[in-house]
Amino acid sequence: MKIIGYIIQKEFKQIFRNKAMLPLIFVLPLIQLIILSNAATFEVKDVKFSYIDHDKTSFSRELIDKFNASTYFNVITEFPSEKIASEAMLKGEVDVILEIPHYFERNLLKDKETSLSVIINAIDGAAAGVENVYINQIVRSFNKKAQVDLMQPSDMKNLPKNITSIPSFWYNKTLNYKTFMVPGILVLLVTMITLFLSGMNIVREKEIGTLEQMNVTPIKKHQFIIGKLFPFWVLGMLLLTIGLIIARLLFDVPMVGSLSVMYLYTSIYILVILGMGLFISNYTDTQQQAMFIAWFFVVIFILMSGLFTPIESMPEWAQFLTEFNPIKYYVEVMRMVMLKGSSFIDILPQFTKTLIYAFIMNGLAVWSYKKTN
């Protein structure tokens, strides 16, 4: 244990002696957490809205007022014709064009029905889908009011009773997207920092020649690896702590579950990442090589973790591959514990798979590490 303690002491001194590394460890991840949590969102706001009103009646003006009152739409202008409106959309000046037809009010009064034309800029398909939902909600709201206004006294007897649904939003009552995103982004930061630092640290010693000096000492392989990786395990846990404090104080993310469960799982998860870093460093000779290989795997893991794209929406072969993605399990556990209040029993499947993953990755890392006495 004394030998491991000396190696750990040496590693901490080496980390804190490097003035360029300290901002990378502590400052940049926190800035990324703050920026990404505000920027990474699927919410669509300030949609540039325009309209063509061929009817120019009280009903058409009332419909436009509905959009004007919405917090999602920014009513830019009215266009006299569809051609001019299309040119404006081509230039990127508007996102949505609502065309109200001739005799809009008359058809409502006479036939009790009419139609609207909506043109949406769908280059961003996800945003266009959300915008379409917003538009349909406003039109349905206007339609209910129009039915009441157009109803004759004789129709009051046959008026059907309304069926009202009362939604109850669990785990995120305010539908705040940051509540959904912050735990996932925190997972990414803990993963990236521990993976990059652990991998590049060992490769750096290869470059400057100190690793060869360590290899010819009586230090055993497991002592060297434990002493080498333990400081980064501590840094990963420290990053999690700082990130949780920011998530609570700055973003008001609820933490319903047990912190001890969260830290227990994280302690095992970081072992998986450190094993990956050591495994990558064993097959690379420069920090640049280690960075590229680590980044290759991190990008795949992130995109297939369920953070930005629901795993259920992926093809079956991709869903199968996500079973080997450790980031997927960490994202699930963080959201389950923080937002749902899940217990250790609830996360036991993810914990078991991550524990197996930790044994495999560290076993491969130790096996692939070559030490010469």
- Bridge partner residues of 120 (DSSP): 96
Least confident of 77-81, 237-241, 306-310: 306-310
Compute how many other C-beta atoms are within 10 angstroms of the C-beta atom of residue 207.
12
Rounded to whole angstroms, how far apart are CA atoms 229 and 201? 10
* 99 pLDDT above the threshold of 80: yes
**pLDDT tens digit sequence for 192-209:** 888 888 877 777 777 777
The proportion of the chain whose per-residue pLDDT surpasses 90, expressed as a percent, equals 16
Residue 220 above 50 pLDDT? Answer: yes
The answer to whether 317 and 323 have CB atoms below 8 angstroms apart is no
pLDDT of residue 124: 67
For the ranges 36-50, 265-279, 357-371, the maximum mean pLDDT occurs at: 265-279
Whether pLDDT at 22 is above 90: no
Residue (of 37, 44, 49) closest to 79 by Cα position: 49
- Residue ranges and CATH numbers for the domains of the chain are 2-40+176-368 (no CATH), 47-155 (3.40.1710.10)
**Could you read off the pLDDT of 231-268 as tens digits, one per residue?**
889 888 998 998 899 888 888 888 888 999 999 999 99
Band of residue 353 on the pLDDT scale cut at 50, 70, 90: very high
pLDDT at 161: 47
Q: Which pLDDT score, from 0 to 100, does residue 358 have?
A: 93
Q: Are 268 and 359 in contact (CB under 8 A)?
A: no
Query: Mean of the pLDDT values across residues 169-192?
Result: 79
Hey, how many other C-beta atoms are within 10 angstroms of the C-beta on 263?
Answer: 13
